[in-house]
Structure 1
């Protein structure tokens, strides 16, 4: 069987510069992002950031891949039962072999949050549990007021895609989503709508790193 040739780091970089520009690529290849929760939102955010050339991703989730996740999350059928954080790294390495990854099969709490976010330039909240969302947002805003935080609120249901927006809540806090729909309401979780919200988060993170959000 013929071996597969992976493009070199230099080839990857030249391609990124061609499509994104030298300035943005330089800033992304120096940045670290912590993604808290790697389900429908987080796995898609990670894919976008890895493709863009981010230096390092810290991926945190205590869940396992379930067959119901395959409809909208960036996992394979062969990975059902695996820890999400580790399974996602497997997939990301095929897409972005020169990005650095740090994966944790752990639950984030107020007591251990420093372990996961202290060294990140931007923190991405991507939980599907309202209590977990609130805990993370409050902890980051309180402990790291100068750290950028990008969170999500509302991507369930079948409303128009244009109802999903990005809002600047404060100097370092951005919120993406429609602000009203909640997975706990029993609404549909459609892959395109979830991915649109994830794309809002990923683009906001890239803009922050590139210095375009001030």
Structure 2
């Protein structure tokens, strides 16, 4: 575990968060539990943003290792190549806030284990690449975890305007972030700016939900 500088302690960091976020807001963030399924272009950035908010418990799940094709859009660096994404990401998150609870699952999320992995999470962010995996996770969590809200990504490929990426409430416990149209399967590519914008939309929706706001 990363050791904080002697000039920094938990109370000092928590007070800084309270100063910026407000005491009541920070109390809600600190008490929250949020899951992230997939730690690639969306998930790695979402995790960093939520750690900066001071979300008390982050449940992180991914089976993959960092490779060179990840570096252009995911929150990893050259020294992380070959490491499991779970391990590489937690190293970074602990440098942001070492006093949060990081629960790591280095495994493939499936219909059989998703509810077990994310049980107790108020919100789970879907951050997979493939459409069928996205659909699996959303349907599994909505059916199996009735107290959990899902924030999913849907369309962030290509080079279109960032203004096309939006957040919408699809149903009671499901929110979709993205342009709803672009698809890497159509050869549109994945560019860091649009992926990061979509990740920020997801993290912002999580923030709003934790503060009791249900509309984007």
Q: Establish whether TM, by shorter chain, passes 0.5.
A: yes
- Output aligned runs, 1:1-214, within 5 Å: 4-5=5-6, 7-213=8-214
Note if contact 1:147-1:172 (Cα within 8 Å) is conserved in structure 2.
Answer: yes
Is this contact kept in 2: 1:86–1:104, CA < 8 A?
Answer: no
SS state at 1:124 partner: strand
Whether the 8 Å CA contact 1:45–1:199 is kept in 2: the answer is: yes
- CA deviation after TM superposition for structure 1 residue 182, in Å: 1.6
Q: 1:67 deviation in Å?
A: 0.9
Secondary structure of the structure 2 residue equivalent to 1:34: strand
CA shift digits 1:85-142 (9 cap, x unpaired): 1111111101111111011110011111122111211111000111110100111111
RMSD between aligned residues:
1.3
- TM-score relative to the length of structure 2: 0.94
Output the CA distance in 2 between the equivalents of 1:6 and 1:202. Answer: 30
Paired residues, number:
212
> 5+ unaligned residues in a row in structure 2: which ranges?
none
Q: How has the CA–CA distance of structure 1 residues 6 and 167 changed in structure 2, closer, same or farther, with 3 Å as cutoff?
A: farther
Cα distance in 1 between the residues matched to 2:180 and 2:116: 29
**Contact 2:115-2:141 at 8 Å conserved across structures:** no
Find the aligned partners of 1:41 and 1:47 in 2 and give their Cα distance.
10
Mark the runs of 5 or more structure 1 residues left unpaired by the alignment: none
TM-score (norm 1): 0.95
Structure 1 residue ranges (4+ consecutive) displaced by more than 3 angstroms after TM superposition: 3-6
Provide closer, same or farther for how the CA distance between residues 6 and 113 of structure 1 changes in structure 2, counting only shifts above 3 A. farther
SS in 2 for 1:156: coil
Task: Judge conservation of contact 1:128–1:183 (CA < 8 Å) in 2.
Answer: no
Q: Is the 2:32–2:122 contact (alpha carbons within 8 Å) kept by the matching residues of 1?
A: yes
2:53 and 2:205 map into 1 onto residues whose CA distance is 13
Deviation at 1:189, TM superposition (A): 1.3
3-state secondary structure, aligned to 1:155:
coil
